[in-house]
A and B are shown apart, each in its own frame.
Chain A
Amino acid sequence: FASAADFQDKVAVLFSEWCQICDHPAMGDSVYSHYIVQLQQNGLLKGDDVTDRFFFSLTELAIAHSIVPEQTIAPTGLSQQPSPQQQISYFSIDSYSKLVASVVKSVDLGPNKGSLLHKILAVTARIIQKDAEEKKVSFNPRPYFRLFINWLNELTTSDLHHDGTNFQVLTAFANAFHILQPLRVPAWSFAWLELVSHRCFMPKLLMCNLQKGWPFFQRLLVDLFKFMEPYLRNAELGQPILLLYKGTLRVLLVLLHDFPEFLCDYHFSFCDVIPPSCIQMRNVILSAFPRNMRLPDPSTPNLKIDLLAEISIAPRIMTDVDGALKAKQMKAQVDEYLKRPEGSLFLTDLKQKLLLPQNEANVAGTRYNVPLVNSLVLYVGMQAVQQLQQNKANASASAQINQSPQMDIFQIETATELFRNLVMTMDTEGRYLILNAIANQLRYPNSHTHYFSFIILYLFAEATQEIVQEQITRVLLERLIVNRPHPWGLLITFIELIKNPRYSFWTRSFTHCAPEIEKLFESVARSCG
């Protein structure tokens, strides 16, 4: 091609030819395949940079022809209605998406078949980012939304016989959506969430290839939570972020209902990016439990949690719990302290280690490194549970002592000492985050729920200052007074707290500090049975 302009003209001619073919649907597939052979003969489908430029130009043409020139709307009366949505003519986009689907299905670039699709998606992602950067508030997301919806309909099949190809296609889209995440293209956020949660994408990615698609979808959810996090920290939400928040709740409810194991396995990574104030949304995730599990009613009188079969089974956690600890070079120190606590100075400056540098604190909206706090709490707890189960196995192997199924305090005193030290030495905010990290493990019956339920009650019983007991109560209560769902482990812990005379809960002054507080406790106690 002589020049870029010449190239553009040639592409425009080719595109209008293709649109004419599409305009006569009765034409058989042979016309489509003949056209594609022509493109191959012109060297446009080799997968090189000419291919990139070819699809770049085609995409711009398809989008440009889809926007119906803006109708000029005279201001109606005083309140200028937001200008009605620009009309979109789908024909050029539907034709282009059909060309891409035909090319991807018929042109084989060799073993890594997905590469042509990857290329086209990469080009499309580049165009969307460029268009959004240039147009800013006048960027129109809908033509690109239509393009992707067409591709999802045409390129993903639920034919599980072709799981392998399907997986390549679905992960190609997942990578494209990750590139186009709301933090990168905020003006495409609503279209993005609708595509990511679309019935042609989300369920297929989660159901294909034995859960291999789960990490891809987990990454997309984290992308969404990271975008919303700064705005969700406050209680007041503007209309746009409120709509995005409600949309996220709908998607989480579909996941809770259809793919609860996915939420179970990735809860830890989601709690890192959901602000503590998002109690209900976090509850949706923490309420998930495996579909084959039957949860005993938490208000069953004399419910023996220890005797549940699942209570000694560790939950699957698909993200690396100690990642944040390693990033701060703290993992070795924690391990050292848990092995040899005598004379260790680890606890003396632990609080300092959990603080964020001032500049980061401003951006994060909190003085503490929340992911590090979460990582420390869960990691230490997991070590304690493993130690416990190891000791139990030894004990039953030697069969010397008939060990009660109860948590045997002395075997986990190091971990407990660490939690007690944190709760006693931290300031209000720090203590809140520690207690939150513990409460985030109160889920369905498993060994972590069991351990952390014990720990938070133990900390309540051993606290020497009433403010600690008040704050533990606050952390549990604020998760119970929001609308359902409520995690099973949270309910059984709160019921134990208010029922077991060992904690003499109702004698604490803060349960009577005001009439409405008293009423609140009674109503929550009643709703817990």
Chain B
Amino acid sequence: LGIDLTTLGLNLNSPDNLYKTFGSPWSNEPAKGDPDFHIPSCYF
């Protein structure tokens, strides 16, 4: 009958995009380390 997909560690009701903290296909944990950010060049 398949898997209860809510047990795969992804918050499927999250209002935010999941990809920002998607750690790995093998883990239930969100990604560690600095999330992706970018600074406009005029800030330098």
Contact between chain A and chain B defined by CB under 8 Å: yes
C-alpha spacing A254/B21, complex, angstroms: 10
* A197 CB, min distance to chain B CBs, angstroms: 6
Residues of chain A contacted by B12 (CB below 8 angstroms): 253, 256-257
- The answer to whether A190 touches B26 (Cβ under 8 A) is yes
- The answer to whether B36 touches A481 (Cβ under 8 A) is no
Residues of chain B contacted by A194 (CB below 8 angstroms): 24-26
* B1 CB, min distance to chain A CBs, angstroms: 5
Of all A-B residue pairs in the complex, the 3 with the closest CB atoms, nearest first, are A247-B25, A280-B2, A482-B2
- The answer to whether B5 touches A248 (Cβ under 8 A) is no
Q: Which residue of A lies closest to B1 (CB)?
A: A482
Judge if A384 is at the interface, Cβ distance under 8 Å: no
Q: Which of B4, B18, B19, B20 has the most CB of A within 10 A?
A: B19
- The answer to whether A483 touches B1 (Cβ under 8 A) is yes
Residues of chain B contacted by A243 (CB below 8 angstroms): 26
- The answer to whether B4 touches A250 (Cβ under 8 A) is no
| Residues 6-20 of A at the B interface (beta carbon under 8 Å) | none
- The answer to whether A158 touches B3 (Cβ under 8 A) is no
A233-268 vs B, CB cutoff 8 Å, 1 = contact: the mask equals 000000000010011111101101110000000000
Residues of chain B contacted by A258 (CB below 8 angstroms): 17-19
Stretch of A199-207, A349-357, A426-434, A466-474 lying at the B interface: A199-207
Complex partner residue of B19 from A157, A190, A203, A481, CB under 8 angstroms: A203
Provide the main secondary structure of the chain A interface.
Answer: helix
- The answer to whether B18 touches A253 (Cβ under 8 A) is yes
Residues of chain A contacted by B14 (CB below 8 angstroms): 257
Chain A contact residues (Cβ within 8 angstroms of B): what range? 20 to 34
- The answer to whether A257 touches B2 (Cβ under 8 A) is no
Judge if A100 is at the interface, Cβ distance under 8 Å: no
Q: Which of A159, A190, A202, A257 has the most CB of B within 10 A?
A: A257
User: Which A residues contact B (CB, under 8 angstroms)?
Assistant: 157-159, 161, 190, 193-194, 197, 199-200, 202-203, 243, 246-251, 253-254, 256-258, 279-280, 283-284, 481-485
Residues of chain A contacted by B2 (CB below 8 angstroms): 279-280, 283, 482-483
Q: Which of A157, A251, A258, A482 has the most CB of B within 10 A?
A: A258
Complex partner residue of A249 from B8, B20, B37, CB under 8 angstroms: B8
- The answer to whether A484 touches B10 (Cβ under 8 A) is no
Complex partner residue of B31 from A199, A248, A251, A485, CB under 8 angstroms: A199
Complex partner residue of B25 from A197, A280, A481, A483, CB under 8 angstroms: A197
Residues of chain B contacted by A199 (CB below 8 angstroms): 19-22, 31, 35-36
- The answer to whether B5 touches A253 (Cβ under 8 A) is yes
Residues of chain B contacted by A246 (CB below 8 angstroms): 3, 8, 25
C-alpha spacing A199/B23, complex, angstroms: 8
Q: Which residue of A lies closest to B3 (CB)?
A: A483
* A195 CB, min distance to chain B CBs, angstroms: 10
- The answer to whether B19 touches A250 (Cβ under 8 A) is no
C-alpha spacing A280/B8, complex, angstroms: 14
Given contacts A159-B38, A253-B5, A483-B3, 15 further A-B pairs with CB under 8 A are A159-B40, A190-B26, A199-B20, A203-B19, A246-B3, A249-B3, A253-B8, A254-B22, A257-B12, A257-B14, A258-B18, A279-B2, A280-B2, A280-B3, A280-B5
